[in-house]
């Protein structure tokens, strides 16, 4: 039995198809000066063919109406055709006498390694995307055939060192039952696409390609993160029972999808979705029964491009979200960039402590041009639906007052221009620093709502870098100190007749649903796929029981004792 990281749930049985690619051999010898033009032409020719292939994949995806995957390949094309990338490669050919393949490999590896050094897992795993583009480009320069996974004719489970996003996009879904890789992580685009395609997948096994041969019978159990190679009849029987149970539970959850999140004693809360910037995310949110969008991460609008998005581009994106959700609220978070989330075209400074540095609202207060463009776009889009504005990384009353002054000036501008917007648009803040949690009773007087970001709040409060493997075990949002801060924030909002949401990972964790419900949380916002399960827990519970659980938990001195309490009461 082998394990790795389960990135897309499900169970699959099938034959192994081991992808063994021809190794790319780079010509590292210096070229003659007379060959410079020829090598530049090899690069340009290879890039043209690579661009053609990527556009073909993108157009195929467009026909499937999958805008999220389409955006991934749009980003690949933008990177491939980037002028700076082209210039770096041509400079190495001209000045260092690199062959076309050596120059491409050098530039791509430099970019990929720079991404791998970042703390943020999502951005770190973009290194895979960069290498995917580079490998495709190298194969086209060197004339190496590219495997077409769309031509698979029998049902198989794909086994590979890694699967690139472009390979995943081309999988024949009628025949591919799932995939297993040696490398990869939960936030890689390949993993994101596996979830989007609802393909069972386990990545990061480290050894699967060494243990499996073509034609081996594989059980891929991505529910329990287990892989069986040529299993015994007894194991096959047991996993079949598990698969039937999973399918039955999945069907059972669909009954709760479009029901309100109301307890047996009629206490109602909202269960909403966290999304990126694509219409596909909104469609999935609605399909899973979201009662609104609790977090619209606008930074994705700013990524995979060479310039800041214009007011009109942002307006169209926010308008589409507002119209798609009809009368349900969409909370738009102001761009949260900086720290380890970099935008190359913004030339952010290198900092010793980027998480404690120039990021999120601190950038926006210094770069009023970016802030104004985004706020104007949100205001204009608010005429078409129920939009809310949310500021990230707030630590003081002064910051909110300054932001509200800017917002009112922009409202005045739009009135003069005759542009319509929601005059009473609600404004809230993220509570994700100990500072904001401690003075929540002051901050709530300046805004309409709070949304607790437990990921950063936990990291900052416990002084734990969750990306540091030496101490990541200390990162736990169920810590007594975090729970006390959460309760304090909820009470501060309620004391002013206002509400509190949570959009961190904790909101979608079924272990903490009753605890947060009992604390008085008004809105749970999470990954769309978790919504039916959280609704089921809420609808099968009594609010008065949840309050008792919360009261006990808040008086317990250790994380272990709180966890024990929650597991005792888990549904």
What does the H/E/C string look like for 469-532?
Answer: CCCHHHCCCCCHHHHHHHHHHHHHHHHCCCEEEECCHHHHCCCCHHHHHHHCCCEEEECHHHHH
**Under DSSP, is residue 194 helix (H, G, I), strand (E, B) or coil?**
helix
CA angle 477, 483, 486 (to 5 degrees): 105
Alpha carbon distance 538, 548 (integer Å): 15
- Separation in Å, CA 452 to CA 64, 387, 430, 458, 531: 36, 18, 6, 11, 18
Alpha carbon distance 563, 42 (integer Å): 60
| Binding-site sequence positions | 297, 333, 432, 455-456, 466
Please provide residue 17's backbone torsions phi and psi, each rounded to the nearest 5 degrees: -115, 105
The single residue listed with the structure tokens 């995943």 is 168
Helix axes 100-116, 36-63, angle to 10 degrees: 50
Q: How far is CA 547 from the centre of its chain?
A: 32
Is 503 a residue of the active site? yes
What does the H/E/C string look like for 513-527?
Answer: HHHHHHHCCCEEEEC
- Which residue among 189, 267, 272, 280 is the active-site one? 189
CB-CB contact of 218 with 212 (8 Å): yes
Give Dmax (Cα) for the chain.
Answer: 83
For CA atoms 508, 509, 515, 519, give the dihedral sign.
negative
Please provide residue 569's backbone torsions phi and psi, each rounded to the nearest 5 degrees: -105, 10
Is 441 a residue of the active site? no
CB-CB contact of 276 with 297 (8 Å): yes
- Separation in Å, CA 298 to CA 60, 74, 76, 215, 391: 26, 17, 20, 45, 11
CB-CB contact of 400 with 431 (8 Å): no
- Which residue among 76, 267, 272, 503 is the active-site one? 503
CA angle 340, 342, 348 (to 5 degrees): 100
| Binding-site sequence positions for phosphoenolpyruvate | 297, 333, 455-456, 466
Least Cα distance to 22 among 139, 105, 166, 183 occurs for 139
CA angle 5, 472, 559 (to 5 degrees): 105
The single residue listed with the structure tokens 């720079």 is 114
**Under DSSP, is residue 164 helix (H, G, I), strand (E, B) or coil?**
coil
What is the H or E stretch that residue 389 is in? strand 386-391
The single residue listed with the structure tokens 């801060």 is 485
First to last CA, the chain: 29
Task: Extract the tokens encoding 556.
Answer: 């317990």
DSSP per residue, 396-426 = -HHHHHHHHHHHHHHHHHHHHTT----TT-E
Task: Extract the tokens encoding 205.
Answer: 């096994």
Strands (E), 213-337: 217-221, 226-229, 261-262, 268-275, 293-297, 329-333
Task: Extract the tokens encoding 140.
Answer: 């086209």
Which residues are known to be catalytic? 189, 503
């Amino acid at each position: 039995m082998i394990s790795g990281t389960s990135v897309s749930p499900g169970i699959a049985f099938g034959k192994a198809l081991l992808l063994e690619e021809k190794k790319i051999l780079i010509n590292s010898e210096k070229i003659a000066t007379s060959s410079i033009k020829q090598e530049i032409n090899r690069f340009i020719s290879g890039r043209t063919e690579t661009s053609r292939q990527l556009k073909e994949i993108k157009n195929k995806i467009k026909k499937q109406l999958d805008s999220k995957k389409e955006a991934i390949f749009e980003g690949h094309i933008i990177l491939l055709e980037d002028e700076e990338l082209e210039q770096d490669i041509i400079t190495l050919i001209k000045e260092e006498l690199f062959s076309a393949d050596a120059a491409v490999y050098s530039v791509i590896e430099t970019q990929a390694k720079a991404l791998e050094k970042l703390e943020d897992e999502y951005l770190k795993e973009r290194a895979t995307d960069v290498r995917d583009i580079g490998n495709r480009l190298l194969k086209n320069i060197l004339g190496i055939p590219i495997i077409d996974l769309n031509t698979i004719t029998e049902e198989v489970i794909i086994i590979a060192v890694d699967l690139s996003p472009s390979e995943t996009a081309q999988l024949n879904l009628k025949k591919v039952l799932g995939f297993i890789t040696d490398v990869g992580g939960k936030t890689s685009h390949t993993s994101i696409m596996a979830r989007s395609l609802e393909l069972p997948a386990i990545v990061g096994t480290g050894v699967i390609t060494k243990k499996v041969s073509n034609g081996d019978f594989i059980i891929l159990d991505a529910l329990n993160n287990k892989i069986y190679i040529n299993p015994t009849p007894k194991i096959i029987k047991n996993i079949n029972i598990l698969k039937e149970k999973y399918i039955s539970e999945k069907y059972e959850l669909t009954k709760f999808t479009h029901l309100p999140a109301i307890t047996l004693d009629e206490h109602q809360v909202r269960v909403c979705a966290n999304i990126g910037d694509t219409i596909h995310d909104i469609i999935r949110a609605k399909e899973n029964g979201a009662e609104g969008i609790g977090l619209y991460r606008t930074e994705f609008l700013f990524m995979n491009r060479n310039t800041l998005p214009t007011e009109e581009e942002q307006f169209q994106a926010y308008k589409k979200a507002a119209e798609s959700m009809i009368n349900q609220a969409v909370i738009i978070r102001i761009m949260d960039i900086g720290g380890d989330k970099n935008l190359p075209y913004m030339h952010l400074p290198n900092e010793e402590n980027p998480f404690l540095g120039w990021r999120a609202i601190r950038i926006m207060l210094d770069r009023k041009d970016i802030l104004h463009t985004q706020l104007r776009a949100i205001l204009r889009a608010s005429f078409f639906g129920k939009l809310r504005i949310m500021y990230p990384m707030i630590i003081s009353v002064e910051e909110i007052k300054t932001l509200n002054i800017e917002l009112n000036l922009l409202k005045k501008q739009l009135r003069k221009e005759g542009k319509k917007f929601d005059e009473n648009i609600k404004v809230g803040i993220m509570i994700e620093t100990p500072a904001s949690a401690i003075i929540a009773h002051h901050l709530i007087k300046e805004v309409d709502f709070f949304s607790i970001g437990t990921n950063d709040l936990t990291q900052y409060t416990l002084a734990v870098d969750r990306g540091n493997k030496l101490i990541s075990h200390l990162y736990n949002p169920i810590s007594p100190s975090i729970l006390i801060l959460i309760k304090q924030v909820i009470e501060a909002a309620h004391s002013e007749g206002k509400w509190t949401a949570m959009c961190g990972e904790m909101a979608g964790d079924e272990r903490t649903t009753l605890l947060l419900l009992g604390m008085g949380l008004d809105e749970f916002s999470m990954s769309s796929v978790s919504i039916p399960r959280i609704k089921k827990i809420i609808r099968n519970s009594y609010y008065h029981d949840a309050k008792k659980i919360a009261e006990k938990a808040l008086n317990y001195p250790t994380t272990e004792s709180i966890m024990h309490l929650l597991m005792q009461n888990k549904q």
